[in-house]
Chains A and B, each alone.
Chain A
Amino acid sequence: MTHRVTVGGHVHVFADLKQLMAKATPLRSGDMLAGIAAASMEENMAAKIALADLPLRTFLSEALVPYEEDEVTRLILDTHDAAAFSPIASLTVGEFRDWLCSERATPEVLAAIAPGVTPEMAAAVSKLMRNQDLILVARKCRVVTRFRDTIGLPGTMAVRLQPNHPTDDAAGILASTIDGLLYGCGDAVIGINPASDSLPVLGDLVRLLDELIRRFEIPTQSCVLTHVTSAIALIGQGAPVDLVFQSVAGTQKANESFGISLSVLREGLEAGRSLKRGTVGDNVMYFETGQGSALSADAHHGVDQQTLEARAYAVCRPFEPLLVNTVVGFIGPEYLYDGKQIIRAGLEDHFCGKLMGVPLGCDVCYTNHAEADQDDMDTLLTLLGTAGVNFVMGVPGADDVMLNYQSTSFHDQLYIREVLGLRRAPEFEAWLRRMDITDEAGRLSSGRGGQALLAAMQGKAA
């Protein structure tokens, strides 16, 4: 269907829904690279104005990526919850924004409609929202998940401890892990990006973290971020796998470039759950996403990267993940050019995921060829902390020596806790208190905390 709007004496015509969505998106380099961005600022506003008048239900009858070609589209439409959708069924996209910002959209109401919100609806309304709207509404959306601790409770923020090492050296990984624990990090997961993809190496890393977690009875979970099929193989070999990881994207073709399908993810979920290693819940999946991944796999179907990112959350949703992490600035400046684009994308991703009922966290990050620096990360971290992000990364000194990019540090999470009064997952917080790493207020204790952890490394560092 053609969309037409007159602004400033010009008639703007949009050939179809995906073109309207792309042109309404805040400017970013990835959409320019794909050749689908608005050609002028007026065209960008004209598209937003046209989009505001579009009934939400249009997205249930007009697929942006063809239903016949794409299992993600089929998943979205075939599992849409019409009853959950009914309170917002009569709204336009613009009216949906007003409704979301209003007092009527309470946390309970938002949780109830989440299964009725498709990724395209979430993406569409986000395109009409300013950063403050994305923060205001996301803050009202609560998504709580559990494995060995409880993540996403109001007033809390968890941290993935990311102890990567360029050669997967066990002592090096343990050193960074203990450093992070001594700063009170690790309640989301202790998660290693391995340099190797060999199963014996991966198995050793899984056992390394399992032994640490068992020895100190840490109420958290481990993950070695490798391909889902490797995790399934490790589980088959009897490795103590807590979380099953996979990178996912918003189209079937992009997921094929990752070597996965929905059925492979289902196998991963079943394998993970079969071990019954969770103590307070069975959310066993950990997904990572990021705007631009479909374009980089030449699998974007002419759809803008922000909408495709929201579709990746639809891929995650049925697998009841513990953690979904948008790795927002990792992909590079050809997709998100500078700090402004990265900050906006981080807020959009968090909002869309939470509105859809998905437990979004964010790797607040950038590469050295992007026009961004640590000041931009401070800004995004502060905004996401305010928006109620479920978790962020904890990387030693913000410098990942394996992946060569900058994220948020152990110190950064201390900063945001102090400024916003954010607590850790309650089970993990109680453990830190028992270990005398933190005091009653959740601050690092001044004295002898964590001596037992350091003693565990004594022989290795000698």
Chain B
Amino acid sequence: MLPPDERWAALTRLTPARIALGRAGASLPTREVLRFGLAHAQARDAVHIPFRPEEVAADLAALALETVQVESAAPSRDLYLRRPDLGRRLSPEGQAVLAARRGAFDFAFVVADGLSSTAVQQNAAPLIAAMLPFLKQQDLKLAPVVIASQARVALGDEAAEALGARLVAVLIGERPGLSSPDSLGAYLTFAPRRGLSDAMRNCVSNIRPGGLTFEHAAFKLAWLARQALRRALTGVDLKDESELALVSGEGASRLPIASK
């Protein structure tokens, strides 16, 4: 049997929570104060470091994807945080740019900075890369990828409606936690148009190397996309049963290697 201190420390294997931290008197040891401070700094940076859409555009160009860059109606990060309504709407310029690219598309990606530029910067392009083989398999006509700054999820509705897409996947930086400043969320909405509520969407969250992997997330999203187009809906009535498909082998044979 382990001595008590080691037994306590052994609990840390069971949870990502910050347990068995030790103490200095009643307080945290210096080591833990600094570890927490660093995690908080990274989470704050994820919110506030300016989004660099041109880098995402370059990553996507390397995948042979066309891109369009737009901004929301929120002119600054400060206003973006205070006025969620502005982040849900396109700027007038953005509306015009997308209207000019209107076509008949099956599927649109909207890459939005959301609350973590870190997440989008690092994880959006690899997720799209992992999804492309699935979309190709389904023979879907892709709209140009929209890259949106100061954007919230619902901006994807207006963007995809302007482009004329049947289904939209908004890839957006999630509210950063201390242990997950790079967490990407993906929101899938069928027949996107302005004024939809979140009950009309399906969400796959915590997409990052330390959470849900790109390959796994891509499989889930592709499964949901197939069901959404087949059943003409997303939201509370479309339950994510992709795991069943994976277990039954439907996925295994179709799980492609992510191509760069």
A-to-B contact residues, CB < 8 Å: 29, 32-33, 163-166, 169, 171-176, 178-179, 182, 332-334, 337, 367-369, 373-374, 396-401, 404-406, 409, 411, 414-415, 417-418, 443-444, 448, 450-451, 454-455, 457-458, 460-462
Contacts and interface: CB of A to CB of B under 8 A. Distances in A.
Contact of A172 (B2, B15, B81, B179): B15
Given A33-B82, A411-B23, A411-B27, A401 B177 contact: yes
A373 B4 contact: no
Contacts of A461: 7, 10-11, 13-14
Nearest to B26: A414
A458 B40 contact: no
Interface string B97-141: 000000000000000000100000000000000000000000000
Given A411-B23, A414-B23, A368 B176 contact: yes
A332 B23 CA distance: 31
B36 A399 contact: yes
B247 interface: no
Interface of B: 1-2, 4, 7-8, 10-21, 23, 25-28, 32, 36, 39-40, 43-44, 46-47, 81-85, 115, 174-181, 183, 206
A416 to B, nearest CB: 9
Given A369-B176, A404-B174, A411-B27, 8 more contacts: A334-B82, A337-B82, A368-B40, A368-B43, A368-B176, A401-B178, A404-B175, A411-B26
Contact of A182 (B8, B16, B28): B8
5 contacts: A337-B81, A369-B81, A399-B18, A401-B17, A411-B28
Contact of B175 (A179, A367, A399): A367
A333 B180 contact: no
Contacts of A373: 40
Closest 9 CB pairs of A and B: A397-B18, A404-B177, A172-B15, A414-B26, A179-B19, A175-B11, A461-B10, A175-B14, A368-B43
Contacts of B174: 404
Given A368-B44, A406-B178, A448-B4, A401 B15 contact: yes
Given A405-B177, A415-B27, A396 B81 contact: no
A415 to B, nearest CB: 5
A369 B177 CA distance: 10
A169 B82 contact: no
A457 B11 contact: yes
Contact of A454 (B7, B17, B43, B183): B7
B8 A401 contact: no
Contact of A399 (B11, B81, B179): B179
B1 A458 contact: yes
A334 B84 contact: yes
Nearest to B42: A368
Contact of B15 (A29, A176, A405, A414): A176
B6 to A, nearest CB: 10
A450 B1 CA distance: 15
Contacts of B44: 368
B19 A397 contact: yes
B14 A460 contact: yes
A172 B175 contact: no
Nearest to A447: B4
Contact of B179 (A374, A401, A454): A401
Contacts of A179: 8, 11, 17, 19-20
B17 A33 contact: no
Nearest to B36: A397
Nearest to B174: A404
B82 A29 contact: yes
Contacts of A178: 11
A334 B83 contact: yes
Nearest to B16: A401
